[in-house]
């Protein structure tokens, strides 16, 4: 995955994609759920996360209490020690990584704690959310970081503009 090329594509297209997502806040085409599923399938035929890892390189997951306990246990640490070593609390009270790339990302783009990774990582990039339009703000942020979300929103935009009176 050429992330420099991706950044250039994002610079050219992000305003249009964000505008599309904003419009989706107000008007949701019929069969949106089916359309998202259908288009998302095509996205994953073209995108390989192991050739990318941009989320782990440039973003931080949010750690919930269970994540912290589970991962701390794995390292034989107390949750407090784990937080002191790797996390900070942001202004919303959420626990985040102090540094990026994530400390658990390996050189081969695999996650060294994959089986016990934070729930937030396991759900990313959240394309399977039932009410897609409720996550427009999340997708609007993630189109600039995640090539899969960028493709999903770009392809959805094309389909919706072509097929719906919108
Ligand atoms: S915990 Fe694993 S999946 Fe989550 S950001 Fe870190 S390396 Fe990526
Ligand atoms: S989820 Fe998105 S940003 Fe993360 S590795 Fe996959 S394509 Fe890249």
What tokens does 46 get?
């073209």
Q: How far is the CA of 118 from the centre of ligand 1 (A)?
A: 7
Whether ligand 2 lies within 6 angstroms of the CB of 61 is answered as no
Q: What ligand has the least distance to the C-alpha of 55?
A: 2
Decide: 77 in ligand 1 pocket, CB within 6 A: no
| Higher-pLDDT residue of 112, 130 | 112
Average pLDDT, rounded, for the chain: 94
114, 147, 151, 154: which to mutate for ligand 2, most atoms within 8 A of CB?
Answer: 147
- In this predicted structure, what is the pLDDT of residue 134? 80
- Identify the CA nearest to 156 among candidates 54, 63, 40: 40
Tens digit of each residue's pLDDT (9 = 90 or more) over 24-50? 888 877 888 889 999 999 999 999 999
The predicted pLDDT at position 128 comes to 87
What pLDDT is recorded for position 77?
Answer: 98
Confidence (pLDDT) at 16: 95
Has residue 13 got a pLDDT over 80?
yes
Which of 70, 96, 104 maximizes ligand 1 atoms within 8 Å of its Cβ, making it the mutation to test the pocket?
Answer: 104
Is the model's pLDDT at 85 over the cut of 80? yes
Query: N- to C-terminal Cα distance for the chain?
Result: 34
Chain mean position to CA 61: 9
| Mutation choice for ligand 1 from 64, 108, 110, 118, CB with most ligand atoms inside 8 A | 118
Phi-psi region at 28: left, alpha or beta (left = phi > 0; alpha = psi -120 to 50) = beta
Q: What is the pLDDT of residue 32?
A: 85
Q: Higher-confidence residue: 24 or 54?
A: 54
Backbone angles phi and psi of 90, in degrees to 5: -85, -175
For the segment 131-147, the average pLDDT, to the nearest whole number, is 90
Q: Distances in Å between the alpha carbon of 139 and those of 58, 83, 85, 87, 116?
A: 16, 28, 30, 25, 25
Any idea where the domains of the chain sit in the sequence? 3-50+126-163, 62-123
* 132: pLDDT strictly greater than 90: no
Q: What is the spatial distance between Cα 17 and Cα 22, in angstroms, rounded to a whole number? A: 9
Residue 130 has pLDDT above 80, yes or no: no
Does pTM top 0.85 for this prediction?
yes
Looking at residue 163, what is its pLDDT? 84
């Amino acid at each position: 995955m050429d992330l420099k090329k991706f950044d250039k594509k994002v610079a050219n297209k992000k305003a249009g994609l964000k505008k599309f997502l904003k419009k989706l806040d107000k008007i949701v085409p019929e069969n949106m759920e089916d359309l998202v599923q259908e288009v998302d399938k095509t996205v994953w035929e073209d995108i390989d996360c192991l050739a990318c890892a941009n989320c782990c390189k440039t973003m931080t997951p949010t750690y919930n209490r269970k994540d912290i306990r589970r991962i701390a246990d794995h390292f034989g640490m107390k949750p407090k020690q784990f937080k002191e070593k790797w996390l900070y609390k942001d202004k919303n009270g959420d626990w985040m990584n102090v540094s990026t790339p994530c400390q658990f990302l390996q050189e081969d783009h695999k996650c060294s704690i994959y089986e016990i990774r934070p729930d937030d990582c396991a759900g990313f990039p959240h394309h399977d959310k039932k009410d897609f339009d409720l996550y427009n703000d999340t997708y609007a942020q993630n189109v600039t970081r995640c090539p899969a979300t960028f493709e999903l929103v770009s392809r959805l935009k094309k389909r919706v503009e072509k097929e719906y009176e919108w």
